[in-house]
Chain A
Amino acid sequence: MVFSSNVFLFLFLPLFLIIYYLLPFKWRSAWILLGSYALYSWWRVDFLWLLIAITVVSYWFGLVLGRQPDGQRRRWTLVTAVVLNLAALGYFKYANFGIESFNAITQSLGFQPFAFTPILLPIGLSFFIFHAISYIVDVYRREEPPTHKLLDFAAFIALFPHLIAGPVLKYNLLADQFRTRTHTLEKFSYGATRFMTGFAKKVLIADTIAPLVTAAFNQPNPTMADAWLGALAYTLQLYFDFSGYSDMAIGLAAMMGFKFPENFNHPYISRSITEFWRRWHMSLSSWLREYLYISLGGNRKGRARTYLNLWLTMVLGGLWHGANWTFVLWGVWHGSILAVERRMKEASLWKPSPAWLTIPGTMILVMLGWVMFRADNVPDAFRMYGGMLGLNGVGLSDTLAWQVKGSVLLTMLLAAVLVYVAPLWGQRVGDVGSRLLKPALAVGATVTLLPLFVLAVMKLSAQSYTPFLYFQF
């Protein structure tokens, strides 16, 4: 069940909220758990066991880690718990990829391929495995005491606003909130605003651009115009789709009294890839830093190892997105640039450059990365890169031209304005600090949002089903 669907918006959400607010606080975790399991089961009931198994196993390991004194044995408990979680991820997410890659090699050597039945990837698996690992590691590091409340822990893992596509949360961010949180009309209104904003971003912008992205990436011989238009369209689609989803998740959580961390902070105004990763999918970036980069040694083991750790973190982060070489190469691309940027800073080669140079420069690097990220396979990505270099001509091809609509181009223009003007505008208003201007703008923005939300609900009904892009990860 996706947030931008009639069944969620008009059946699940009202039923959930009515009962949630009727129940006393002590019953609310149970209701969250029940509601979240129901939402998950809407996809497939037969995979609910996996979510429950991950929850129970991680909870039990948390208790064991809490009791054990520091030492080798405790370390082995941690390793076992993490490996069990990663094994589940590996089996369901990477087994197909591993066998297919193995078969590709054996077939190229003239051997018979290994026969296998493809394994179905459970929706949201990457996210709830990461939630479970964060809890286990936090308990191991003694940053968080192990919880004895299985119900609260299960509700944290399954909490429906973040269950399917994040944000990737650490248990210690929500543990206190399960024990106590406030429910106010102001907070609910804030959540409603965020939810409606995300809904409008997803349906009005991302979904409108989506057909052009598909058409451009399906071009057998993309021209320079085809490839750059497709890359730009995908750059905007992905941001509005995923940040829209994150807004909705944060909004839904706020309606239930929770405070989720932000997931985006105007990433496309970044002036370097380093800055980009402080602004894009911040919850994942933060998770990777806490649990992967630091575990690999971070910057504590010398300069060369720091670069390697950065690189490895991004490569594994890329692989986390999906079992495909495209994601690995996307990770390699970002990891390499991060390492180079760090080296340049350490060698004092990084000179402050004007924004008009660094923002477009960073955007081009990001877009080149997104092409690999979006392509179905590596040869397809290189076909797009060939197009970007003009290997198939310059102007728009006739196979794409008929699919380029004025409404889509206008939406892209508006999206670009929102991406670049909104943060600048926010900064200006902040600088002015006017007591009159800021509230007036806030009211104006909210009043504009309300009809847009209704338009988005109607557009959702008029168009066919379009799941969120990050559901596939």
Chain B
Amino acid sequence: MTEFAQDTVKPNADNPTAPRILHWLPAAFLLTVVAVGAIATLTSPGFREAQPDKTVINGEWMLSWEKNLDSKVPWRTPSVNLWGGLNYRLFGEAQDGALIGQYGWLFTNEEFQTASTDAAEFQSKIAYVKQVRDQLAKDGAKLVVALIPAKVRIYPQEVGRAGVPASHDTLYADFRDRLEDADIAAPDLAAALKAARSQGNVFLRTDTHWTPLGAEIAARAVAETVQELNLELPPADYSLTHKPDVARAGDLLRYVPVPEDVGPELDRVSEPEYTRTDEGGGGLLGDESIAVTLVGTSYSADSKDNVWHFDDALAAALGTEVLNAAQEGKGPIVPMREYLKSQDRKDNPPQVVVWEIPERFLRVVYDAE
């Protein structure tokens, strides 16, 4: 007897005693699936799309082509829907990327994640904010950080079974404390938003972002902080109206690919419309200076999904025009890097820059510039 295995070949590879149906059924089935899949693959747009600028010799072209093909095979969407639907109906789970809480509340995974690099990244973010503060100060501009609390921080009861990691408990307050130590103004938006919960939802149930109410509450808190800087901002007046409220599918519903009547109930949103009512606002050809610049993420960016209009709410709360340099999908660091180098900054030297930083990005590591 030996400690190691012997080679064994299964004797039943072509077992004549197996039921006759097994002699042909698996082959016929596999070949049918492969044939149908092959025809669908050959006719899919991904098959014909070349990958310019990719090198064949090192496999770069193949990787890129295959990735593109995978995303465009005709059974991709039905597959996502089938498996997403099964997970939701059988287990009440979303696909990787979101968590389903209680009462139809969805949360992004990013607000729960932890890593061993978190503490170091926290320090690195503080250092970068200080660096930005100093760079702006050279041109006489002040920095105000609008630190947006995680949705789970405002609605912890709605998270349900999973619970938020305790290491996140003091993250918001700690970061604000460190900013305060560095003499960087940062209003307590978490307290303001928590206090406003009785007026309505301050975050959308099915979206990562805040509601128009949440954006307005935050804008008022930021405006109070800016006003404490005693700057002379060019005045502007705004009026606020609301569009009729409509059902809105939030970005987190992408992780729950089920029909609307099966999945979490949609949010109802009444989109605000801010209109400038005074005689200012030089428009494209005007020479009115804009003293406040807003830099940040999708919470501020002027994108097609933006129904909260934080930039307008901030302008209305400050009573001055706001230049919006926020960008969607890049986190808070990249838009600031780009803004610091931009022509916008040279053309409109600000008195104050409001930098909107969502709490969940504090742990995200960005490539060095």
Contacts and interface: CB of A to CB of B under 8 A. Distances in A.
Interface stretch (A29-37, A281-289, A366-374): A281-289
B26 A450 contact: yes
Interface in B152-191: 162-167
A173 B9 CA distance: 10
Contacts of A74: none
Q: How large is the interface on A (under 10, 10 to 19, 20 to 34, 35 or more residues)?
A: 35 or more
Given A192-B30, A260-B9, A398 B165 contact: yes
Contact of A401 (B12, B66, B83, B162): B162
B83 A459 contact: yes
B246 interface: no
Nearest to B70: A6
A444 to B, nearest CB: 10
Interface string B82-123: 111001001111011001000000000000101110000000
B357 to A, nearest CB: 23
Contact of B163 (A14, A211, A262, A402): A402
B5 A285 contact: yes
Most central of B26, B57, B116 by chain A CB within 10 Å? B26
Given A277-B3, A398-B165, A442 B30 contact: no
A173 B6 CA distance: 12
Interface stretch (B17-25, B195-203, B259-267, B346-354): B17-25
Nearest to B2: A289
Given A254-B13, A462-B84, A402 B99 contact: yes
Contacts of B76: 461-462
A274 to B, nearest CB: 5
A182 B164 CA distance: 60
Interface stretch (A39-47, A320-328, A417-425): A39-47
Most central of B29, B37, B84 by chain A CB within 10 Å? B29
B10 interface: yes
B83 A173 contact: no
A190 B3 contact: no
Contacts of B12: 190
Contacts of B38: 10-11, 14
Contacts of A254: 13
A450 B22 CA distance: 12
Nearest to A7: B66
A14 B115 CA distance: 44
A461 B84 CA distance: 12
A14 B34 contact: yes
B14 interface: yes
Contact of B7 (A173, A288, A293, A398): A173
Contacts of B95: 462
Contacts of A193: 22, 26
Contacts of A261: 7-9
Given A10-B38, A185-B27, A192-B26, A42 B4 contact: no
B241 interface: no
B59 interface: yes
Given A14-B35, A195-B30, A5 B13 contact: no
A283 to B, nearest CB: 7
B80 interface: yes
B121 to A, nearest CB: 14
Given A45-B59, A192-B26, A399 B114 contact: yes
A443 B91 contact: no
Chain B interface mostly: helix
B41 interface: yes
B37 to A, nearest CB: 4
Contacts of A341: 3
Interface in B69-86: 69-70, 73, 75-76, 78-80, 82-84
Contacts of B31: 192
Nearest to B94: A405
Contacts of A7: 66, 69-70
A443 B4 contact: no
A271 interface: no
A402 B2 CA distance: 46
B62 interface: yes
Contacts of A192: 26-27, 29-31
B68 to A, nearest CB: 11
Contacts of B69: 6-7
A365 interface: no
A46 B8 CA distance: 36
A442 B3 contact: no
Interface in A166-194: 170, 173, 182, 184-193
B91 A277 contact: no
B58 interface: yes
A13 B41 CA distance: 13
Contacts of B9: 173, 259-262
A5 B167 CA distance: 39
B33 interface: yes
Nearest to A405: B93
Contacts of A10: 34, 37-38, 40-41, 73
B15 interface: yes
A293 B83 CA distance: 48
Contact of A262 (B10, B14, B79, B164): B10
Contacts of B59: 42-45
A278 B5 CA distance: 4
Contacts of A184: 14
Contact of A186 (B15, B29, B115, B165): B15
B19 to A, nearest CB: 4
Contacts of B284: none
A439 B19 CA distance: 6
A281 to B, nearest CB: 8
Contact of B13 (A190, A196, A313, A399): A190
Contacts of B56: 45
A220 interface: yes
A218 B115 CA distance: 8
B37 A220 contact: no
B16 interface: yes
A355 interface: no
Q: Lowest 9 A-B CB distances belong to which pairs?
A: A402-B162, A282-B5, A289-B4, A458-B79, A10-B37, A192-B30, A285-B5, A461-B79, A44-B59
17 contacts: A43-B59, A182-B14, A187-B14, A189-B25, A189-B26, A190-B26, A191-B13, A191-B27, A192-B27, A261-B8, A262-B10, A399-B114, A402-B162, A407-B91, A407-B93, A410-B91, A461-B75
Given A7-B70, A405-B91, A446-B25, 6 more contacts: A185-B23, A186-B16, A285-B5, A399-B165, A462-B79, A462-B84
